[in-house]
Amino acid sequence: LETSKREGGFMNSNYSMLIQWSDEDKIFVVTIPEFVGRVMMPFTHGDSYEDAVQAGQEVIETFLEFWTEDGQSCPEPQNLVMA
């Protein structure tokens, strides 16, 4: 996977984020589908939707940077296919 670096991080606009409201916890929970099965907890959260998006982007950047620096391959971004 070719991953382009930008200032201070990785461009991650092609990775998916599933953002759902948790009534129980009163937070937005973020799942990174491409990272399921690759990392123990591919989740993060935010008190607001905007915080959740930012937290999700930070998780994506952190793992991509780690995998790249460690010489590991990065998961391929999922593509939405319209029938």
Give residue-wise pLDDT tens across range 26-61: 999 999 999 999 988 889 999 999 999 999 999 999
> What's the predicted TM-score (pTM) here?
0.79
For the segment 16-27, what is each residue's pLDDT rounded down to a tens digit?
999 999 999 999
Tokens 């939405």 sit on residue? 80
Range with the poorest average pLDDT among 7-11, 35-39, 55-59, 75-79: 7-11
Give the pLDDT of residue 10.
54
Would you state the pLDDT for residue 13? 65
